[in-house]
Structure 1
Amino acid sequence: MIELVIDQRRKDLGGFEVGRVLPFARRRMVGPFIFFDHMGPAEFQAGFGREVDVRPHPHIGISTLSYLFEGEMTHRDSVGAIQPIRPGEVNWMTAGRGVTHSERFETLRAQGGRMDGIQTWIALPDGDEEIAPSFDHHEADSLPAYEGGGLTARLIAGEAFGAKSPVNIHSPMFYVHWTLEPGARAEIPAQYPERALYVARGEVEVAGQRLTEGQMAVLQPGQALVAQALSPAVVMLLGGEPVGPRFIEWNFVSSSKDRIEQAKADWRAGRMKLPDADDQEFIPLPPDPPPSPNPMS
């Protein structure tokens, strides 16, 4: 059954809108997934401004996973990676004790076109929050895939449906991309204690409930469920084992508030290395929010 439905909240990042789903007030995480943004969909004309680019910024305590349906962007980071990502591919960056990166749109700026994709943050488990930063790229044809009965499926990360992705995860999880034709049915396994389904396009029905574009259904544990496409649909399945409570502030995630304060101080003081290939600008640390006049609010 469905435990909770979360509607995306549209947010302008400076010339580029995203639909934010996680974290949500009533559901901070699903398994290790602590952040889920639907980038676009958006149509760009050639020559658009650089304000759309995501300037260098820092992370700790997570892995970021970028996955596109349409478009292209270029990742640059402080471990030396420079990697374009295209539809169906995976950019997996592990921040660990600290990394900085940027995301640029040079190809779209030159050619124009659509951008549509998902960026997620996966919280690192206890014991791995301070590992060395790293970056991996996986081509689309390296990921397990299935096609039949009106369903096309790709296992992006983790293990599910008897398959295992080559992405080097740090805790039990799964992340799947489904494309369904109208009327197609597909089972959501009961393998993990925390699971969710996000509708990126179209409409589907799960447990008698209609879900539309931009909605995430958090599922109750312990029961396999069937999703049926009511129109051409693109669906993301995600979840896994919980890693425990995490604090999140700006781009920093940790099990320790003190560690986040240290990361803020390091970024403010310029102690976190910028990407060698993109070190001429950066996103400054935003000011701390003012204290609430009501300590219980």
Structure 2
Amino acid sequence: MSWLPSNDPVLGDPASCDALELVIVPRTRDLGDGFAVRRALPHGKRQMVGPFIFFDHFGPVQFVSGKGMDVRPHPHIGLATVTYLFDGSIMHRDSEGNIQEIQPGAMNLMTAGRGIAHSERTPDLQRQSGQKMLGLQSWIALPGDSEEISPSFQHYAAADLPMIRDSGFSARVIAGASFGVASPVKMASPWFYTEVTAGADVSVPLDPDHEERAIYLVDGEVEIANERYQGPCLLVFRPGDRITVRTIEPTRMMFLGGDALEGPRHIWWNFVSSSKERIEQAKQDWKTGRFAPVPQEHEFIPLPE
């Protein structure tokens, strides 16, 4: 999706639990038509968790009949986007010719690399009937040697992703490896992303093997080392510690993180790069129409001034 990063301060507190480095309460923004977004990354105290550089929680919102999402074509460079839904559906179209209806539980990874444009809209059928929308969009910054790779798109239906079912909880491995099981999704660097749903009073372990790790509480409440946390919030952990999460009530959460990149990234609008000059080039490329167009689209979001 195409949203300018907010300059508003986002709440972030040092954690009282020794294993926790930071607790981020995302700032809520209304993008119009009652469409609410909670932004956890980037944050003033933490730009990335592994390669995760942008993390938005959108909805829940109920679109009435005839209304829906209309994110017009916009560009990206230097990143991969993950759109993950709990409710609703989105029609993805991109300048590589990919057309895919994104549905709950499916993995949709668009790698921008040297440049791609895409649109995100409510499908016609759901627009006619109205639908509830709830989901997450994340940006994965690409490593330095992959920032200019060819753009691509991967789709895996929910049924094609590994599921783990244990006593009181289930987990869908969206990318990377969790609970000893690996997703089939191809990635430019090591990272992981897993949806975990659990009933009340259930213990769930967070793998200590990943270099950087966080848990995003979508909803519910958990206890970690005798401290309680309620969603929505992002809990960022120090490396190496063994973490056990105990749910206080039924909870939905995302385990995420991965290897740290070799350095920080510059972010402007929808562009991510290790080079300011590359972002300036991308600005001019979009402004002058040098990005490939998105088939079947006749609109676009102009470059912010």
TM-score range, shorter chain: over 0.9
Counterpart selection for 2:220 from 179, 199, 202: 202
Counterpart in the other structure of 1:82: 99
Tell me whether 1:153 sits opposite 2:171 in the alignment: yes
Q: Which residue type is aligned with residue 187 of structure 2?
A: I
Counterpart in the other structure of 1:56: 73
Worse-superposed segment, 254-263 or 141-150: 141-150
Counterpart selection for 2:89 from 62, 72, 83: 72
List alignment gaps of at least 5 residues for structure 1.
288-297
How many angstroms does 1:57 deviate by? Answer: 0.3
How many angstroms does 1:71 deviate by? Answer: 0.6
With the length of structure 2 as denominator, give the TM-score of the two structures: 0.91
RMSD: 1.0
Counterpart in the other structure of 1:6: 24
Partners of 2:160 and 2:235 lie apart in 1 by: 29
Q: Determine helix, strand or coil for the equivalent of 2:282.
A: helix
Q: Which residue type is aligned with residue 145 of structure 1?
A: M
Is the 1:44–1:108 Cα contact (8 Å) retained in structure 2?
A: no
Partners of 1:228 and 1:44 lie apart in 2 by: 34
Counterpart selection for 2:256 from 226, 238, 250: 238
Counterpart in the other structure of 2:51: 32
How many angstroms does 1:285 deviate by? Answer: 0.9
Partners of 1:216 and 1:149 lie apart in 2 by: 25
Q: Determine helix, strand or coil for the equivalent of 1:102.
A: strand
Worse-superposed segment, 204-213 or 175-184: 204-213
Counterpart in the other structure of 1:266: 285
Partners of 2:233 and 2:221 lie apart in 1 by: 10
Q: For residues 205-240 of structure 1, what are the alpha-carbon distances to aligned partners after superposition, in whole Å with 9 as ceiling and x for unaligned?
A: 123221212100000111110111111110001000
With the length of structure 1 as denominator, give the TM-score of the two structures: 0.93
How many angstroms does 1:160 deviate by? Answer: 2.2
Partners of 2:61 and 2:42 lie apart in 1 by: 23
Q: Determine helix, strand or coil for the equivalent of 1:200.
A: strand
Partners of 1:207 and 1:197 lie apart in 2 by: 15
Q: Which residue type is aligned with residue 238 of structure 2?
A: Q
Partners of 1:207 and 1:218 lie apart in 2 by: 14
Counterpart in the other structure of 1:275: 294
Aligned residues: 284
